[in-house]
């Protein structure tokens, strides 16, 4: 999930997750929201995951995390 710092103000938000190096597994949620985007899910047992999100104009991404 991507959570708004100040809920109530409508902003462009998104959240996404996927198994590392497997875009076909990607789940995302992107729209104009007042509180949060998501949740998003992916089955990734035994895999690393890539995930990220954005709020208004700020973006954050993490790659190859939560590896077994």
- As to burial, measured by CB atoms within 10 angstroms (0-12 exposed, 13-18 middle, 19+ buried), residue 59 is exposed
Residues 46-65 have pLDDT tens digits of: 999 999 999 987 888 888 88
DSSP class of residue 19 equals E
Half-sphere exposure of 47 (CA within 13 A, CB side): 15
Q: What is the mean pLDDT of the chain?
A: 91
pTM of the model: 0.86
In this prediction, residue 66 has a pLDDT band, given cuts at 50, 70 and 90, of confident
19 within 8 A of 42, measured Cβ to Cβ? yes
- Which pLDDT value is given to residue 5? 81
């Amino acid at each position: 999930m991507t959570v708004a710092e100040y809920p109530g103000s409508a902003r462009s938000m998104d959240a996404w997750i996927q198994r590392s190096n497997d875009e076909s597994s990607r789940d995302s949620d992107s729209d104009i929201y007042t509180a949060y985007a998501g949740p998003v899910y992916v089955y990734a047992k035994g895999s690393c995951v890539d995930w990220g999100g954005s709020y208004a104009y700020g973006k954050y991404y993490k790659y190859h995390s939560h590896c077994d």
